Structure 1
């Protein structure tokens, strides 16, 4: 739990910096050989709210939460898509790339969090709700999906 809290604090602190891209400077002619190193940095994924504007992700989300009783703040997030601007990350699993998104309750990011793992092509979604009720899995993830989510949080 401490590791998750530290991750959230780190992500929350880094969010403004992650949301802004530094200005790009032209590469001097003598240093052009160094340019590929900078290009090798991992690209930042879209924030969860951007994914939730795409029909495939909405459908996967709806399937994940069907029949679940969710906290009010999650319902509010779905209506407004107002959450922290934290980019999604790629999670490799079984030779495919999954996408992990994050959001949290406004003014309570340290204690109320939601992690959502989307399968390739947004064909499925699974979630981990962290809050006062402990850990609640959404979408009936199997052990390998649970481990994929938890491994990113460690």
Structure 2
């Protein structure tokens, strides 16, 4: 009779890792890189005019943020400037760039910061958008 509990505990000791592996939930990275790759890529993709900088644009200006000079520019999707625009700030030493991508439709305005701008840089980008779109 002692053999049955020993046999059962031995079986469970080996079977538990196998059962756990078979029932392991998928990770977010697994789903994003495999089963949902197309949907994930669509979610993170930028419009082609942004990626290639093939845009209608204006001459840049110099702005000061926290006492440092930066280069500020504005560009938009050719033939659709009212709906798709981007404000861009470049570090003068070429070390970084930040952006605010704005996409507007009939009912909403979606804005995404690019380049992980800090709050002060976000404020400068938002002001640039407002300066270029005074009616919004």
Which band: TM-score by shorter chain?
0.5 to 0.7
8 Å contact from structure 1 (residues 89, 101) kept in 2 = yes
Q: Does 1:90 align with 2:66?
A: no
For 2:67 and 2:89, the matched residues in 1 are separated by 15
Pick the aligned partner of 1:116 from 76, 88, 92.
88
Q: Does 1:72 align with 2:48?
A: yes
Q: Does 1:126 align with 2:102?
A: no
User: Larger relative CO (CA 8 A, sep 6+): 1 or 2?
Assistant: 1
User: Deviation at 1:150?
Assistant: 1.8
Relative to 1, partners in 2 of residues 1:105 and 1:87: Cα closer, same or farther, differing over 3 Å? Answer: same
Give the TM-score normalised by the residue count of structure 1. 0.49
Deviations 1:107-142 (A, max 9, x none): 100110011111131211110000046001101111
Structure 2: unaligned runs, 5 residues or longer: 1-43, 131-136
Larger radius of gyration: 2
Q: What do you get for the CA RMSD once the two structures are aligned?
A: 1.8
Relative to 1, partners in 2 of residues 1:82 and 1:71: Cα closer, same or farther, differing over 3 Å? Answer: closer
Give the TM-score normalised by the residue count of structure 2. 0.54
Match of 2:16?
none
For 2:126 and 2:63, the matched residues in 1 are separated by 11
Give structure 1 regions of 4+ aligned residues with deviation exceeding 6 angstroms: none
8 Å contact from structure 1 (residues 90, 99) kept in 2 = yes
8 Å contact from structure 2 (residues 61, 71) kept in 1 = yes
SS in 1 for 2:112: strand
User: Deviation at 1:85?
Assistant: 4.4
